[in-house]
Structure 1
Amino acid sequence: MKHIDRTHFLDILDAHRQPWFDGYYAMYSSLLGGVVTDPALMLLPIDDHLVHRGDGVFDTGKCVAGGLYNFEAHLDRLMRSAAAIGIQWPGGRDEILSLTHETIRVAGHRDCSVRVILARGPGSFGVSPYDSPRPALYIVVYALGKPFMELHPAGAVVRRSKIPCKPSDLAGIKNCNYLHNVLMKRESVDWGVNFVVGFDPAGHLTEGPTENAGIVTRAGELLFPRLENILAGTTMLRLIELARSLVDDGTLKAVAHRDIDEADIVNASEMLIVGTTLNLVAVRQYEGREIGSGQPGPVYQRLGRMLEDDINNHAALRVELF
């Protein structure tokens, strides 16, 4: 076994560069007090409780055509999640926002994803959060994926997950212990489908591994699950705001959060998946059955265009960084 000292450490990092590093643009670390743009240097200390206990929270936004979209909503959720597990960043919300803007600018890509992670911080290999004297902040800027429907215009295939849903008191915290989500994503890959969705013990729809899901009923109601058992997705909440205008013009009868069971999905005229990177997704098949006509429906078409316009042109929700 090699003994690796400081002299050889950077050489070893260089020798182990990977093709996927091309999509890693910049990382801020409070432990370093600055930003690195070399992916080989985007490292965390192994004794940060984020690494060995999943003790931290995060949120992910996106920059589109140089504008950071709806990030205040992401940052609000990050701060709520941090407060729920007792992490307080000394510089406060404003410093996190400023550092996020600066890291994106250093990255230099007009289209990118940005993930902000508030970690318990280094301190021990134990489980007690009090072993870490101060939290750590990491901000990572990386390649933005394409919206799902650009790659799959016919729509998505969805199955029901076998993974139990998160307890309601944890579902609303975007924490870094993502084992439930990882196992759900593994199901979708192993089963050869695009997404899986979960259900609570009462048989009500919850969410996907990183997405919210909802339906359009044959009566013209746009429904998403109640917020008690899901993460309040920023794009879902924004979509609901946009959809209210479709109630005003008669396209929809109502927009609401309600209990949704599997029979409601099977009988729906449309099923929708929504997420920050995905934007809006039309589901064409659920558990082997066509949803509605089996093609992207009219509510998807209208809302998809509205959301895309909102992302690109809503000045109040965009911070132009380039």
Structure 2
Amino acid sequence: MKIITAENYVTTLKAASRPYHNHYYAMYSSMLGGMVTDPALMQLPIDDHIVHRGDGVFDTFKCVDGAIYNLDAHLQRLERSATAIGIEWPGGLNELRELSIATIRAGAKRNCSGRVMLARGPGGFGVSPFEAPERALYIIAYQLGQPFMKKKPLGATVRRSHVPTKAPPFAGIKNCNYLPNVLMKREAVEWGIDFVAGFDNNGFLTEGATENIGIVTRSGELAFPRLENTLAGTSMLRLMELARNSQTDNANLISVVTLRDITEQEIFDAAELLIVGTTLNVVAAVEYEGAAIGSGTPGPVWRKLNQMLEDDITENKELRTVVFSANEGSKDG
């Protein structure tokens, strides 16, 4: 067996590189105290509790045409999740913001995803959070996925998940133990569909593997599940705000915007079924459990809401944190 030493460590890492490493652009590590842009060097300590216990929180944002969209909402949610499990970053939100921007800039891609991971930190292999003497922060800039409807313009298929839903308060904490979400995504892939929908013990809709799910009723109500059993999606909350602000102009499409309990039967009866996420934007789900939703084609509310969100992402200066000027950064991210 080959013995890895300090002298051959980096060359060994480089020899073990894989094609998918080309999708990783830059990484900040508080343990290194700096930034790396060589994917071979994007490493975490094995004794960090985020690795062997899932003891950490994360959030994911996207940079579109040189500016990060809705960054503050993502970092505020990260802070809420961290507070819920007793993790605090000494530099606070301001430093998290500065380092997030710096990481995207180091990646040099005008279009990319960014993920911030705030970890309990290294210090041993036990379960006690007090074993780790200091917190750790990792931020990665990586390839941005294409919005779903760009890939599948005819819409998405959905089935009911068999994976038990997360109970409060864990449903609202974006932690790094994502096993239920992983199993939900596995279901979707193995069943040959696009998404699965979770339900709580009372039979009410919760969320997808990494997505928020809502309905448009035949009376024009735009409804998403109450937040007790779901993660408060930044894109969902922004979409609801946009919908409310445009109700006067779109009264023929949207009568009211609500958070409430949603039954499975209401999905079958809905005029439209919508799926929302940071990378996805707004998805029109046209089939649930093999049955057509509404007309079985993407509907007018989806069309209007998706356009409003896309315009917000590309044009809302208040929510766009500029990282690159017009002539900076590569556009092929």
Aligned match for 1:278, one of 252, 277, 280: 280
- 1:115 maps to 115
- Once residues 243 and 49 of structure 1 are traced to their aligned partners in structure 2, the CA distance between those partners, rounded to angstroms, is 41
- 2:234 maps to 234
Q: Which amino acid aligns with 1:229?
A: N
Cα deviation for residue 247 of structure 1 reads 2.5
Report the TM-score, using the length of structure 1 for normalisation: 0.99
- 1:259 maps to 261
- Once residues 10 and 100 of structure 1 are traced to their aligned partners in structure 2, the CA distance between those partners, rounded to angstroms, is 26
Which secondary structure state, in structure 1, belongs to the residue aligned with residue 165 of structure 2? coil
- 2:290 maps to 288
Which secondary structure state, in structure 1, belongs to the residue aligned with residue 77 of structure 2? helix
Cα deviation for residue 245 of structure 1 reads 3.3
- 2:96 maps to 96
- Once residues 247 and 94 of structure 1 are traced to their aligned partners in structure 2, the CA distance between those partners, rounded to angstroms, is 35
Report the TM-score, using the length of structure 2 for normalisation: 0.96
Which secondary structure state, in structure 1, belongs to the residue aligned with residue 318 of structure 2? helix
- Once residues 248 and 81 of structure 1 are traced to their aligned partners in structure 2, the CA distance between those partners, rounded to angstroms, is 35
Aligned match for 1:304, one of 283, 303, 306: 306
Which secondary structure state, in structure 1, belongs to the residue aligned with residue 247 of structure 2? helix
- 1:196 maps to 196
- 1:213 maps to 213
- Once residues 45 and 200 of structure 2 are traced to their aligned partners in structure 1, the CA distance between those partners, rounded to angstroms, is 36
Let me know the Cα RMSD of the aligned residues: 0.7
Matched, 1:147 2:151: no
Q: Deviations over 1:116-167 (max 9, x none)?
A: 0000000000000000001000000001000000000000000100000001
- 1:159 maps to 159
- 2:323 maps to 321
- Once residues 88 and 177 of structure 1 are traced to their aligned partners in structure 2, the CA distance between those partners, rounded to angstroms, is 18
Percent of residue pairs bearing the same amino acid type: 62
Q: Which amino acid aligns with 1:211?
A: E
Which secondary structure state, in structure 2, belongs to the residue aligned with residue 162 of structure 1? coil
- Once residues 15 and 302 of structure 1 are traced to their aligned partners in structure 2, the CA distance between those partners, rounded to angstroms, is 49
Cα deviation for residue 10 of structure 1 reads 1.4
- 1:40 maps to 40
- Once residues 31 and 198 of structure 1 are traced to their aligned partners in structure 2, the CA distance between those partners, rounded to angstroms, is 37
Q: Which amino acid aligns with 1:189?
A: V
Cα deviation for residue 246 of structure 1 reads 4.0
- Once residues 21 and 209 of structure 2 are traced to their aligned partners in structure 1, the CA distance between those partners, rounded to angstroms, is 24
Which secondary structure state, in structure 2, belongs to the residue aligned with residue 138 of structure 1? strand
- Once residues 4 and 24 of structure 2 are traced to their aligned partners in structure 1, the CA distance between those partners, rounded to angstroms, is 26
- Once residues 195 and 246 of structure 1 are traced to their aligned partners in structure 2, the CA distance between those partners, rounded to angstroms, is 28
Which secondary structure state, in structure 2, belongs to the residue aligned with residue 247 of structure 1? coil
- Once residues 248 and 228 of structure 2 are traced to their aligned partners in structure 1, the CA distance between those partners, rounded to angstroms, is 27
Cα deviation for residue 8 of structure 1 reads 1.6
Q: Deviations over 1:240-263 (max 9, x none)?
A: 001113422312110000100110
Q: Deviations over 1:181-226 (max 9, x none)?
A: 0000000000000000100000000000100000000111000000
Cα deviation for residue 277 of structure 1 reads 0.2
Q: Which amino acid aligns with 1:7?
A: E
Between Structure 1 and Structure 2, how many residues are aligned?
322
Which secondary structure state, in structure 2, belongs to the residue aligned with residue 121 of structure 1? coil
Which secondary structure state, in structure 2, belongs to the residue aligned with residue 248 of structure 1? coil
Matched, 1:63 2:63: yes
Which secondary structure state, in structure 1, belongs to the residue aligned with residue 159 of structure 2? strand
Q: Which amino acid aligns with 1:45?
A: P
- 1:185 maps to 185
Structure 1 gaps of 5+ residues are: none
Structure 1 ranges of 4+ moved more than 3 A: none
- 1:6 maps to 6
